[in-house]
Amino acid sequence: MTNTTDDRPLLERIVRPLPPRGYRVDDYKRWFPRTGDTMRRSLRQFAPLTGVAPADGPAVAVVVSPWFGSPVPWFAIMLGIGLARRGRRVVLCLDDTPVPQEDLTDQLRTIERVLGAVDLPVVRVGSQSPSPARAGDAELVASLADQNVTWAVRGAPQGDERLAAAFRSALGEALGRIRATLTEITPDLVVVPGGVCNTSGLFLAAAGEQGARGATFDVDRGIVQVCVSGVAAQGGDLARAFTSVWDEGPEGRAPDVAIGREEYSLRTRNVDRYGFQVVAANTAANTAADTTPRVGEIAAVIPMNVEWDAAALGRHRFFRNSADWIGETVATVLAEDAGTVVVRQHPSERRAGQRSRLDVGALLRDRFGDDPRVRFVAADDPTSSYDLLAAARLVLPYVSTIAIEAAALGTPVLIAGSCYFDDLGFVHTASTREEYLQLVRLGVGGRLPVLPDQQERAWVCYSLAAVHNRVYTDFTPGQEDFWSWCRQAPDALFTRPEVADVFEALGHDVPVSVLRRRRGRSAPAGAQA
Task: Say if residue 9 is preceded by a cis peptide, omega within 30 of 0.
Answer: no
Secondary structure of residue 351 in the 3-state scheme: coil
- Which residues, including other chains, have CB under 8 Å from residue 33's CB and lie 6 or more apart? 106, 110
Q: Is 116 exposed, middle or buried (0-12, 13-18, 19+ CB in 10 A)?
A: exposed
pLDDT in tens, 334-347: 999 999 999 999 99
**Residue 501 in contact with residue 495, Cβ under 8 Å?**
no
- Structure confidence at residue 392 as a pLDDT band (50, 70, 90): very high
**Residue 32 in contact with residue 107, Cβ under 8 Å?**
yes
- Residue 10 clears pLDDT 60, i.e. is over it: no
Question: Average pLDDT of 443-466?
Answer: 97
The length of the chain is: 529
Of 242, 206, 225, give the one whose Cα is nearest residue 97. 206
Mean pLDDT of the chain: 90
Q: How far is CA 12 from CA 5, 79, 108, in A?
A: 14, 45, 38
Question: Average pLDDT of 340-367?
Answer: 94
The pLDDT > 70 percentage for the chain reads: 89
Q: In what order do the strands lie in the sheet with 223-227?
A: 122-124, 89-94, 59-64, 187-193, 213-219, 223-227, 471-472
Separation CA 473–CA 347 (nearest Å): 25
DSSP state of 23: G
CA 419, 424, 426: angle at the middle one, nearest 5? 100
Residue of 53 and 237 predicted with greater confidence: 237
- Structure confidence at residue 187 as a pLDDT band (50, 70, 90): very high
**Residue 272: count of CB within 10 angstroms of its CB:** 18
Question: Average pLDDT of 319-339?
Answer: 96
Separation CA 264–CA 92 (nearest Å): 41
Q: What is the CA radius of gyration of the chain?
A: 24
Separation CA 108–CA 379 (nearest Å): 38
Separation CA 8–CA 21 (nearest Å): 27
**Residue 298 in contact with residue 389, Cβ under 8 Å?**
no
- Structure confidence at residue 294 as a pLDDT band (50, 70, 90): low
Residue of 259 and 529 predicted with greater confidence: 259
Phi, psi of 296 (to 5 degrees): 85, -5
Separation CA 411–CA 346 (nearest Å): 20
Of 187, 30, 220, 183, give the one whose Cα is nearest residue 107. 30
pLDDT score recorded for residue 295? 59
Q: pTM, whole model, 2 decimals? A: 0.90
Which amino acid would we find at residue 10?
A: L
- Structure confidence at residue 266 as a pLDDT band (50, 70, 90): very high
Of 19, 110, 21, give the one whose Cα is nearest residue 71. 110
Residue of 67 and 291 predicted with greater confidence: 67
- Structure confidence at residue 180 as a pLDDT band (50, 70, 90): very high
Residue by residue, what is the 3-state secondary structure of 146-209?
HHHHHHHCCCCCCCCHHHHHHHHHHHHHHHHHHHHHHHHHCEEEEEEECCCCCCHHHHHHHHHH
What domains lie within the chain, and their CATH numbers? 22-235+471-518 (no CATH), 243-278+295-468 (3.40.50.2000)
pLDDT in tens, 505-516: 999 999 999 999
- Residue 523 clears pLDDT 60, i.e. is over it: no
Q: Is 81 exposed, middle or buried (0-12, 13-18, 19+ CB in 10 A)?
A: buried
DSSP state of 439: H
pLDDT score recorded for residue 487? 87
**Residue 217 in contact with residue 225, Cβ under 8 Å?**
yes
- Which residues, including other chains, have CB under 8 Å from residue 386's CB and lie 6 or more apart? 267, 268, 277, 281, 283, 405
Task: Name the β-bridge partners of 300.
Answer: 341
Of 349, 368, 260, give the one whose Cα is nearest residue 305. 349
Q: How far is CA 283 from CA 171, 234, 290, 411, 446, in A?
A: 49, 30, 10, 15, 22
pLDDT score recorded for residue 126? 96
Cα dihedral sign, 311-315-321-326: negative
- Residue 525 clears pLDDT 60, i.e. is over it: no
pLDDT in tens, 246-255: 999 999 999 9
Which amino acid would we find at residue 213?
A: R
Q: What is the enclosing helix (H) or strand (E) of 215?
A: strand 213-219
Given 3-state DSSP classes, what are the helix, strand and coil percentages for the chain, each rounded to the nearest 5?
Answer: 45, 10, 45
Question: Average pLDDT of 361-383?
Answer: 96
**Residue 415 in contact with residue 428, Cβ under 8 Å?**
yes
Residue of 18 and 187 predicted with greater confidence: 187
- Which residues, including other chains, have CB under 8 Å from residue 435's CB and lie 6 or more apart? none
**Residue 199 in contact with residue 97, Cβ under 8 Å?**
yes
First to last CA, the chain: 52
pLDDT in tens, 202-228: 999 999 999 999 999 999 878 999 999
pLDDT in tens, 151-169: 999 998 877 899 999 999 9
